[in-house]
């Protein structure tokens, strides 16, 4: 064997120490100076994406899809079509808000329901316009 210097923190070369009957101190935990990037704790899980706004947007679009076609203003020719874009956009935002690790899933679920009601309202209004 060569007498090369050993890295800091390594035990001296040779046979392992024998038990002498005396208590030995606990091994020292490695610190950041000895081992950069070392942590005795497991890595934390990433925080969920902020999906509250997708749920809120879905809910707002669904409510607009239910309310705008029923407003007492002159919407000749387009009234039957107004609920469909709001309902589809709200449904898409609600589905994206429910999928994955996100917060605000209940709001997204309510937004999906209201957007579905807006789509049904739009289909009924469109059917009445075609039949009438």
Residue 39 predicted with pLDDT over 80: no
Looking at residue 89, what is its pLDDT?
97
Round to whole Å and give the CA distance between 16 and 24. Answer: 14
What is the signed CA dihedral for 8, 9, 14, 19, rounded to 10 degrees? 160
Average model confidence (pLDDT) across the chain:
82
Q: pLDDT tens, 43-62?
A: 777 777 776 899 999 999 99
Round to whole Å and give the CA distance between 11 and 30. Answer: 14
Round to whole Å and give the CA distance between 7 and 12. Answer: 10
Q: pLDDT tens, 60-87?
A: 999 999 999 999 998 888 988 999 999 9
Round to whole Å and give the CA distance between 118 and 61. Answer: 9
Looking at residue 28, what is its pLDDT?
54
More confident position, 66 or 35: 66
**Sequence ranges of the domains in the chain:** 52-71+79-104+111-131
Rg (CA), the chain: 33
User: Is residue 9 very low, low, confident or very high in pLDDT (cuts 50, 70, 90)?
Assistant: low
Residue 32 predicted with pLDDT over 60: no
Closest CA to 109 of 56, 39, 72: 56
What is the signed CA dihedral for 122, 125, 127, 129, rounded to 10 degrees? -130
CA angle at 115 for the pair 63 and 89, rounded to the nearest 5°: 100
More confident position, 75 or 95: 95
User: Which residues does residue 20 pair with via DSSP β-bridges, in sequence order?
Assistant: none
Looking at residue 6, what is its pLDDT?
64
């Amino acid at each position: 064997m060569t007498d090369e210097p050993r890295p800091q923190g390594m035990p001296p070369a040779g046979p392992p120490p024998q038990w002498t009957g005396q208590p030995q101190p606990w091994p020292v935990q490695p610190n950041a100076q000895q081992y950069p990037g070392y942590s005795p704790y497991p890595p934390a899980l990433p925080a969920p994406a902020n999906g509250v706004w997708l749920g809120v947007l879905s809910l707002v679009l669904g409510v607009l899809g239910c309310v705008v076609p029923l407003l007492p203003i002159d919407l000749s020719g387009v009234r039957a079509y107004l609920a469909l874009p709001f309902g589809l956009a709200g449904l898409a935002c609600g589905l994206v808000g429910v999928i994955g690790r996100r917060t605000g899933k209940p709001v997204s679920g309510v937004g999906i329901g209201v957007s579905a009601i807006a789509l049904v309202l739009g289909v009924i209004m469109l059917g009445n316009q075609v039949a009438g």
